[in-house]
């Protein structure tokens, strides 16, 4: 085994020099000769019948190349946009979704026509001239109201609004509740969120009619899946479609699933026989890029008076929007993770997906796991409050202790040390000190609260067998390829696709240590389906390192072992007698007899190979993990709530997390900082608002949809414990979503703790000053 | 909508002269073309990014006569005769300036999309206040949004740069 040098080191990111000099290549930076620009005519109504479309005025504008509607696209695109089984395989009503509406629009922003013109500005001008006559229909806005039989329907030809309705049963829930000495119940909202990558979406397509080949550039986390979906819909062999996702300016889940424009732009290119590009505006982004969350939970927990947790019964009502998101049912994993880090006798979780006249929801950073954690951590705090027990003590009493631990739904947590992260977090935050300060503040009438969130996450998707069922056929393994070039440099190809996570660096560290070559000799390639292995599975669900990093490690190991065989031949020694260190094979006991891996690489292309050995020094490897990975940790937030204004000020934020072995601590800390920021932001600021009567989007700009600035966010104190995953050779887990999964519960628990002297038990998100001020006024009555 | 007196139509082509990153440039632009689009499309300076096109996110920030400006809210014709500095002009080709070096060392950015706007805003800050306090840094940068980092790494980078490079750049 080579001495590890770079794994674990704070290596500065290799992608940064181009990004901090403005030399990155994002989707809007790509142009082609003859490029035409597309603008989308979108429905201003959440629900309406299309009576007629008059293209004449738009078509007559000089520079307009085409005005296209569903009629035109039906000859280009077949079938609907895909919906996967995910965690709700038993679907009920799944409305067919064509990328552009023909007779009925079902959410505000749904495409009804496109204009292609010689400039983006002209296309936008002409889009305004397309006259669409609508007959408005009643809008379905509230998912709970939409569940009731006889309510308005989101699709006029649908049977009802129920997308799915299923119950996960984990143990005998009635028996667990029968033993209850106390019960607490709560209704908990998860507001709709807009992922809001700072780079909007964008698509550019170039269809070549003579050889029937399509090149599609788009800002995507998931280029191979997009190739699969788009090639199928356009009737092209998958091998004739190349998808290139260049530098991606943030995704957070919003660039996983295919979008209407991913089909409309290439179809327009095929119709016009010239390259076409569409770049999303910010209002289009808030209105038509997927939303996350959008759920209402009702939950009841049962416990003994000594704090032993017994049972949890919950219902998740999930606002699907107008169509099922491609991976929208992934969010039902909130149910499977609702037990968190605790031992429960039984959990019963019903999930209901409800169609409404809004943009579809789909995975957004954490996707079901923040919701599950938030619910669980709120309910555990409610039990502690009811019992007058310290929330840290109640948690400790119920932590899963022995690993692997099988939860109520048969999911196996690979490794954990929940006491370890909680103890360290309590120490770092000075828990007893804050409890003392809290007591003193309360005497003075001030509202200080301390909130805990002890979390676990399912990630690293995933083993092929369950994930193939979840995607509808493709098992989420990961592929990588290592090529030693004759001069000794290394090209590494991966099927994941970074959008800020620093894979060029982390993956290079793994390759460098496995092959004993310097970082500078390694080039990591990703985001282009024309390169590397046949399929790549994308970056989401905190999977890239635990699955993709392992594939790369495996491929590099295969290459190293072939190099060992060849080195042994060249050194006239047995492969078993060779040591490998610092990139050099040497004969044990005779270090003067050695070959560097670069010398071996050249020899692999030479004329002196042993009999039976093929030329070249390269390997493709697929890694199919035996289990998911299960990062965990403890976050503690301290807040002070202003009694007069309802404003929340975060006084302290501590996060102690465990993602197994760490390849690059600097990048891990960056992921945590950013993830925590997004969870805090959900807790305090963000909400996509639709008018409850009209269904009109109210938060359609960055002025209305609040992304926190530098002045709103605290400086978290980070620390970690290291409990390696036993399921992969690197011992790694994921960290991309951890901060978001943990943090909303810590903040809201702190606010509820602060407000508890007023008799307030629960506060929904976003905990805006107005919401809290109203609750304080209400409580005072 | 034809031009009369001081009025010009949105698509009228106007000739402008300005200096961009120290080089005199000539442009023929529609009156309605933004400075950002002019830089990106006409001059191929694609380091200036567009995140919202309504003046909130700050990704398109450039310096106009030394002052930070939202190039998505400014017309190219308004930059006539001005000195414009973009991310590409922050350091000589192929090199990193001290600010960029400090941001790199501190893992200040992740996806890199908001990055150019931040760097230009920070350059203006350090030119005016070579040794800002952390509170001053936070105040000066509240007009730039980052969705990846939670900002702490950016603050750390600026503090390091201000120690290393009074005057910025």
Interface touch A20/B100, C-beta < 8 Å: yes
Q: What is the pLDDT of residue A660?
A: 98
Most B CBs within 10 Å, among A30, A125, A198, to test the B interface:
A198
In this complex, is the C-beta atom of B155 within 8 Å of any C-beta atom belonging to chain A?
yes
What rounded mean pLDDT belongs to chain A?
Answer: 97
Cα four-point dihedral sign A69, A73, A79, A80: negative
Question: How far does B129 lie from chain A, in Å, by closest CA?
Answer: 18
Q: What is the pLDDT of residue A2?
A: 40
Residue A563: which pLDDT band, with cuts at 50, 70 and 90? very high
* CA atoms lying within 13 Å on the CB side of residue B3: 11
Strands of A597-669, DSSP E: 618-623, 632-641, 648-658
Structure tokens at A605: 């292309």
How does DSSP assign B59-128, residue by residue?
TTEEEETTEEEETTTSBGGGGTT-EEE-GGGSSSTT---HHHHHHHHTT--SSSSSHHHHHHHHHHHHHH
Interface touch A282/B54, C-beta < 8 Å: yes
Residue B2: which pLDDT band, with cuts at 50, 70 and 90? very low
Chain B positions touching A16 (Cβ under 8 A) are 103-104, 107, 109, 112
CA dist., res. A281 & res. A446, Å (int)? 45
In this complex, is the C-beta atom of B121 within 8 Å of any C-beta atom belonging to chain A?
no
Q: What are phi and psi of A64, to 5 degrees?
A: -85, 125
In the predicted structure, residue A649 carries a pLDDT above the cut 50: yes
Q: What is the pLDDT of residue A573?
A: 97
pTM of this prediction exceeds 0.90:
yes
Give pLDDT tens digits for A419-471: 999 999 999 999 999 999 999 999 999 999 999 999 999 999 989 999 999 99
Domain spans in chain B, listed from the N-terminal domain onward = 13-90, 98-162
How does DSSP assign A157-182, residue by residue?
TSS-SEEEEEEEEES-HHHHHHT-SE
Interface touch B112/A709, C-beta < 8 Å: no
Interface of B with A in 67-86 (CB under 8 A): 86
Residue A135: which pLDDT band, with cuts at 50, 70 and 90? very high
In this complex, is the C-beta atom of B127 within 8 Å of any C-beta atom belonging to chain A?
no
In the predicted structure, residue B15 carries a pLDDT above the cut 70: yes
With CA atoms as reference, report the closest residue to A686 among A711, A712, A724. A712
Q: What is the pLDDT of residue A80?
A: 87
Chain A positions touching B139 (Cβ under 8 A) are 711
Q: Which of A19, A197, A673 sits opposite B149 (nearest CB)?
A: A673
Interface touch A282/B88, C-beta < 8 Å: no
* Helix, strand, coil % in chain A, rounded to nearest 5: 30, 25, 45
- Taken in order of first residue, the domains within chain A and their CATH numbers are 16-21+478-623 (3.30.365.10), 31-137+199-249+255-288 (3.90.1170.50), 366-461+627-773 (3.30.365.10)
Chain B positions touching A715 (Cβ under 8 A) are 152
How many angstroms separate the Cα of A223 from the Cα of each of A476, A549, B52? 14, 18, 24
Strand order in the sheet with A202-208: A64-69, A111-117, A36-42, A276-279, A202-208, A213-218, A241-244
In the predicted structure, residue B96 carries a pLDDT above the cut 90: yes
- Vertex A83 angle, CA A77 and A89, to 5°: 150
Residues comprising chain A, all counted: 781
| Annotation: CATH topology of B98-162 | DNA polymerase; domain 1 (1.10.150)
CA dist., res. A189 & res. A436, Å (int)? 31
Structure tokens at A32: 């082609």
Q: What is the pLDDT of residue A781?
A: 85
Q: What is the pLDDT of residue B7?
A: 73
Structure tokens at A543: 């999977």
Chain A positions touching B111 (Cβ under 8 A) are 19, 197-199, 247-250, 499-500
Strand order in the sheet with B13-20: B23-30, B13-20, B83-85, B61-64, B67-70
| b/e code A224-244 from CB counts within 10 Å (16+ = b) | bbbbbbbbbbbebeeeebbbb
In this complex, is the C-beta atom of B88 within 8 Å of any C-beta atom belonging to chain A?
yes
Helix H or strand E encompassing A40 = strand A36-42
Q: Find the closest chain B residue to A716 by CA distance.
A: B152
B13-90 and B98-162: identical CATH topology: no
Q: Which of B115, B138, B141 sits opposite A20 (nearest CB)?
A: B115
Interface touch B100/A676, C-beta < 8 Å: no
In the predicted structure, residue B169 carries a pLDDT above the cut 50: no
Q: Find the closest chain A residue to B151 by CA distance.
A: A710
Chain A positions touching B58 (Cβ under 8 A) are none
Interface touch A673/B153, C-beta < 8 Å: yes
Chain A positions touching B136 (Cβ under 8 A) are none
Q: Radius of gyration of chain B from Cα atoms?
A: 17
Question: How far does B108 lie from chain A, in Å, by closest CA?
Answer: 8
CA dist., res. A528 & res. A642, Å (int)? 52
Answer whether CATH 3.40.50.300 is correct for domain B13-90: no
Give pLDDT tens digits for B23-50: 999 999 999 999 999 999 999 999 999 9
Question: How far does B13 lie from chain A, in Å, by closest CA?
Answer: 14
Task: Supply the ipTM of this predicted assembly.
Answer: 0.96
Interface touch B104/A500, C-beta < 8 Å: no
Q: What is the pLDDT of residue B167?
A: 40
In the predicted structure, residue B22 carries a pLDDT above the cut 90: yes
């Amino acid at each position: 085994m080579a001495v590890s040098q770079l794994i674990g080191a704070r290596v500065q990111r290799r992608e940064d020099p181009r990004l901090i000099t403005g030399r990155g290549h994002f989707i809007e930076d790509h142009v082609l000769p003859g490029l035409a620009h597309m603008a989308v005519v979108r429905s201003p109504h959440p629900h309406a019948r299309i009576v007629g479309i008059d293209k004449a005025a738009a078509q007559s504008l000089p520079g307009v190349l085409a005005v296209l509607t569903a009629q035109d696209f039906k000859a280009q695109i077949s079938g609907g946009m895909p919906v996967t089984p995910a965690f709700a395989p038993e679907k009920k009503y799944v409305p067919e979704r064509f990328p552009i509406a023909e007779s009925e629009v079902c959410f505000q922003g749904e495409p009804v026509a496109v204009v292609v013109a010689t400039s983006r500005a002209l296309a936008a001008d002409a889009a305004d001239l397309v006259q669409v006559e609508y007959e408005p229909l009643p809008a379905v806005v509230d998912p709970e109201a939409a569940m009731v039989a006889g309510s308005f329907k989101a699709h006029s030809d649908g049977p009802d609004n129920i997308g799915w309705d299923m119950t996960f049963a984990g143990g005998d829930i009635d028996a667990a509740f029968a033993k209850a000495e106390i019960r607490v119940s709560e209704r908990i909202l998860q507001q709709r969120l807009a992922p809001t990558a700072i780079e909007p979406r964008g698509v550019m397509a170039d269809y070549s009619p003579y050889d029937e080949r399509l090149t599609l550039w788009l800002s995507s986390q998931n280029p191979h899946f997009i190739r699969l979906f788009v090639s199928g819909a356009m009737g092209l062999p998958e091998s004739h479609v190349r998808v290139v996702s260049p530098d991606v300016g943030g995704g957070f889940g919003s660039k996983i699933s295919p979008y209407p424009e991913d089909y409309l732009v290439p179809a327009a290119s095929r119709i016009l026989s010239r390259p076409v590009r569409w770049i999303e505006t910010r209002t289009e982004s808030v209105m038509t890029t997927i939303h996350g969350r959008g759920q209402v939970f009702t939950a009841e927990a049962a416990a003994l008076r000594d704090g032993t947790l017994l049972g949890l019964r919950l219902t998740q009502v999930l606002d699907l929007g107008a169509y099922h998101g491609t991976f929208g049912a992934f969010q039902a994993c909130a149910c499977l993770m609702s037990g968190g880090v605790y031992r429960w006798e039984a959990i019963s979780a019903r999930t209901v997906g409800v169609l409404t006249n809004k943009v579809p929801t789909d995975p957004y950073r954490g996707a079901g796991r923040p919701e599950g954690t938030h619910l669980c951590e709120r309910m555990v705090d409610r039990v502690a409050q009811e019992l007058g027990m310290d929330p840290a003590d109640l948690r400790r009493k119920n932590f899963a202790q022995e690993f692997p631990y099988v939860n109520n739904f048969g999911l196996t947590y690979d490794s954990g040390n929940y006491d370890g992260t909680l103890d360290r977090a309590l120490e770092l935050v000075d828990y007893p000190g804050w409890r003392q300060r809290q007591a003193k503040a309360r005497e003075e009438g001030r509202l200080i609260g301390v909130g805990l969130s002890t979390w676990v996450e399912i990630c690293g998707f995933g083993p092929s067998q369950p994930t193939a069922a979840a995607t509808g056929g493709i098992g989420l393994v990961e592929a990588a390829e290592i090529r030693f070039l004759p001069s000794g440099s290394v090209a590494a190809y991966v099927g994941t696709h970074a959008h800020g996570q620093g894979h060029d660096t982390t993956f290079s560290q793994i390759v460098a240590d496995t092959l004993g070559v310097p970082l500078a000799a390694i080039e990591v390639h990703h985001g282009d389906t024309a390169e590397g292995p046949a399929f790549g599975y994308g970056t989401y669900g905190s999977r890239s390192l635990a699955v993709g990093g392992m594939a790369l490690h495996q491929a590099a190991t295969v290459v190293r072992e072939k190099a060992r065989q060849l080195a042994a031949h060249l050194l006239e020694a047995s492969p078993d007698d060779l040591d490998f260190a610092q990139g050099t094979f040497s004969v044990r006991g005779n270090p003067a007899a050695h070959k560097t891996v670069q010398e071996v690489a050249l020899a692999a292309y030479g004329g002196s190979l042993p009999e039976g050995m093929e030329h070249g020094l390269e390997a493709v490897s697929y890694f199919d993990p035996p289990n998911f990975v299960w990062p965990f940790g403890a976050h503690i937030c301290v807040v002070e709530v202003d009694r007069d204004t309802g404003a929340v000020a975060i006084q302290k934020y501590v996060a102690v997390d465990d993602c197994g072995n760490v390849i690059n601590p600097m990048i891990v800390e960056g992921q945590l900082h950013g993830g925590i920021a997004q969870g805090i932001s959900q807790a305090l600021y963000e909400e996509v608002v639709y008018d409850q009567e009209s269904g009109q989007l109210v938060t359609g700009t960055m002025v209305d949809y609040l992304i926190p600035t530098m002045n709103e966010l605290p400086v978290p104190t980070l620390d970690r414990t290291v409990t390696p995953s036993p399921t992969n050779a690197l011992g790694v887990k994921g960290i991309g979503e951890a901060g978001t999964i943990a943090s909303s519960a810590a903040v809201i628990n702190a606010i509820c703790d602060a407000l508890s002297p007023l008799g307030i038990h629960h506060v929904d998100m976003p905990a805006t000053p107005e919401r809290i001020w109203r609750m304080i006024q209400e409580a005072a009555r | 909508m034809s031009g009369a007196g001081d009025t010009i139509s949105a698509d009228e082509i106007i000739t402008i002269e300005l200096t961009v990153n120290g080089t005199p440039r000539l442009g023929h632009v529609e009156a309605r073309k933004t400075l950002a689009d002019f830089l990106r499309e006409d001059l191929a300076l694609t380091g200036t990014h567009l995140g919202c096109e309504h003046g909130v996110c700050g990704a398109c920030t450039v310096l106009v006569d030394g002052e930070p400006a939202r190039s998505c809210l400014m017309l190219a014709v308004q930059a006539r005769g001005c000195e414009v500095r973009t991310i590409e002009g922050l350091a000589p080709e192929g090199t990193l300036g001290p600010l960029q070096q400090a941001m790199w060392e501190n893992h200040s950015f992740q996806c890199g999309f908001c990055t150019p706007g931040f760097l230009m805003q920070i350059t203006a800050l350090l030119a005016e206040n070579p040794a800002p306090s952390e509170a001053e840094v936070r105040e000066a940068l509240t007009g730039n949004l980052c969705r990846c980092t939670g900002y702490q790494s950016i603050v750390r980078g600026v503090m390091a740069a201000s120690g290393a490079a009074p005057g910025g750049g």
